[in-house]
Amino acid sequence: MHLLVAGKLHPSGEALLRSLPARGVSVDYVEEVSEPSYAPLIAKADALVIRTQPLSAATIAKATRLKVVSRHGVGYDSVDLAALNDRGIALTIVGDVNSVSVAEHAMMQLLAGAKRARQADLAVREPGGWGWRNKLEQQEISGKNLLILGYGRIGRHLARMAAGFGMQVRAFDPYLQRTGWPEGSVEPETDLHTGLRWADCLSVHVPRGEKPIIGEAEFAVMKGGMILSNTARGGVICEKALVGALISGKVAAAGIDVFDTEPPPADTPLLAQPNALLSPHIAGLTAECGERMALASIENALDYLAGTIDRHLIVNPDFAHV
């Protein structure tokens, strides 16, 4: 049995990899997070553990022995799922290991945006900047309206945190409105534009679709001075429209952890916006979460090969040879 691991893992994951030969599992470990770095090794792999780098149909075609792809996380938009389905290769995710970490990051972005944390830091560091404090740009979030797009585990954790700051919370999630709304005090918002007109703050927690859920039309209906957080995926918010909204003041501050292209090119307009607080797709990469994801992604691959996988962790059970 041969395991290919593509992307650097938490030290606990690396320790687990070192123990695998004693269990009859050989390992290739490629720390670089890119498709070309691991693709030459995929032909001999029975299982692949992969981080955020692409897995294309061309690479899958070379994987003649591959039975399972185990994502080091919960999203899989960079994986060609149709190509895996055509071959009967399973795709697994790690389950609920990062929801608290991501929700905390989103709460941090909302707070940093309201308190203008980036501008405040620069005011101290830059000569003559101290007087910025007298502009009174900082805001309180207590009593403000927060709209959460996507009310899964992350959204629910965020709602609990925001309630602790005295925010009024609504959520927009058409899927849950059809299948059953979770218990609790957060009410569903049935119309996105109505919710955006109501909101002072917005946090996005939905998967990437064929087009952005927040584009020009959505920015147009928002209140001026919106505080925005995106820890979901690049492409969920139209970057071009977001830049325009940051420049115009429609969005007063934005915390952005995910980008259309990762890492974003140096000439990406969003990088030049002083009211955008940016981070390198790290919302789910706390030390604690990184350890949980590393261990779970390895064990998922091994459990699948052993026939003991929790089927709820298989993205494509109807296609996979379980």
- Which helix (H) or strand (E) element contains residue 164? helix 153-164
Question: 271 exposed, middle or buried (CB, 10 Å; 0-12, 13-18, 19+)?
Answer: middle
Active site (annotated) includes residue 288 = no
Burial 9-40 (b: 16+ CB within 10 A, else e): bbeebeebbeebeeeebebbbbeebebeebbe
What crossing angle do the helices spanning 287-306 and 99-114 adopt, rounded to 10°?
150
SS3 string, 109-147, reads HHHHHHCCHHHHHHHHHCCCCHHHHHHCCCCCCCCCEEE
Phi then psi for residue 175, to 5 deg, are: -65, -50
Measured from the Cβ of residue 87, the count of other Cβ atoms closer than 10 Å reads: 16
Active site (annotated) includes residue 71 = no
How distant, in Å, are the alpha carbons of 71, 293, 296, 297 from that of 300?
A: 9, 10, 6, 5
CA distance 301 to 322: 12
Whether 233 and 210 have beta carbons less than 8 Å apart is answered as no
Query: Could you tell me which of 280, 284, 242, 279 has the C-alpha nearest to residue 118?
Result: 279
Point out which residues pair with 29 in neighbouring strands.
5
Whether 252 and 227 have beta carbons less than 8 Å apart is answered as yes
CA distance 86 to 294: 27
Task: Give the active site residue among 14, 35, 262, 291.
Answer: 262
Task: Give the active site residue among 87, 133, 160, 281.
Answer: 281
Phi then psi for residue 255, to 5 deg, are: -105, 120
Active site (annotated) includes residue 233 = yes
Query: Could you tell me which of 284, 310, 294 has the C-alpha nearest to residue 17?
Result: 294
Task: Give the active site residue among 233, 239, 292, 299.
Answer: 233
> Which residues are the active-site residues?
233, 262, 281
